[in-house]
């Protein structure tokens, strides 16, 4: 994984990378993530950054930790439980849609992008 220089902190970028792997099926419920130390070496990041990523993902119920055993991918929730996070996604999406409209991107193109992104996640 290459980290973007878009201003987002590395722990957020890594969290999104792990979420993408969950969505595309590379990581399945029950799969064990590398230890903090191993992930830090693999990603060339400080272990504190990895720990912060795992804590963030755990607060979002994407992973769970078993003391002495490791961090694992959670079962997907049937319905969103974190209404604040859902609201945050809606706000971010609205901002992106406004930007798309400003740039003159046709609605059909945006719909195609959304459909393609969801189909990738379902495969």
Residues 66 and 15 in one domain: yes
Least confident of 29-33, 107-111, 116-120: 116-120
CA 10 to chain centre: 12
pLDDT digits (tens, 9 = 90+) for 32-58: 999 999 999 999 999 999 999 999 999
Q: 33 and 87 share a domain?
A: no
Q: Which residues lie closer than 8 Å to 61 by C-beta, 6 or more apart?
A: 74, 77, 81, 82
Query: Is 116 among the domain residues?
Result: yes
Reported confidence tier of residue 14, pLDDT bands at 50, 70, 90: very high
Q: Is residue 22 part of a domain?
A: yes
Q: What pLDDT digit, counting tens, does each position of 69-95 carry?
A: 999 999 887 556 677 778 888 888 999
pLDDT value, residue 121 = 59
The answer to whether residue 5 is domain-embedded is no
Residue 122, pLDDT score: 54
> What's the CATH number where 31 sits?
1.10.10.10
DSSP state, 28?
-
| Residues 54, 87 within the same domain | no
Q: Are residues 88 and 48 in the same domain?
A: no
Residue 64 shares a structural domain with residue 18: yes
User: 7 pLDDT band (50/70/90 cuts)?
Assistant: confident
What per-residue confidence (pLDDT) applies to 83? 77
| 2 pLDDT higher than 70 | yes
Q: What is the separation, in whole angstroms, between the first and last Cα of the chain?
A: 21
Domain containing 111: what range? 83-120
Answer yes or no: are the C-beta atoms of 53 and 14 closer than 8 Å: yes
The C-alpha atoms of residue 13 and residue 55 are separated, in whole angstroms, by 14
Structural domains in the chain (count):
2
pLDDT confidence of residue 119:
79
Indicate whether 92 and 62 sit together in one domain: no
With a threshold of 0.75, does the pTM exceed it? Answer: no
In a domain, 78, yes or no: no
Q: Do 60 and 94 reside in the same domain of the chain? A: no
**Considering only CA atoms, which of 109, 110, 73 is closest in space to residue 94?**
110
Same domain, 67 and 19: yes
87/116 same-domain check: yes
Query: Does residue 96 sit in the same domain as residue 56?
Result: no
């Amino acid at each position: 994984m290459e980290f973007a220089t878009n201003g987002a902190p590395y722990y957020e970028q890594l969290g999104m990378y792990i979420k993408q792997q969950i969505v595309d099926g590379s990581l399945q419920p029950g799969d064990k993530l590398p230890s903090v130390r191993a992930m830090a070496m693999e990603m060339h990041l400080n272990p504190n950054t990895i720990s912060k990523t795992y804590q963030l993902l755990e607060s979002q119920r994407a992973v769970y930790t078993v003391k002495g055993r490791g961090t694992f991918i959670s079962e997907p929730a049937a319905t969103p439980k974190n209404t604040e996070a859902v609201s945050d996604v809606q706000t971010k999406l609205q901002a992106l849609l406004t930007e798309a409209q400003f740039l003159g991107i046709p609605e059909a193109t945006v719909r195609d992008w959304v459909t393609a992104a969801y189909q990738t996640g379902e495969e």
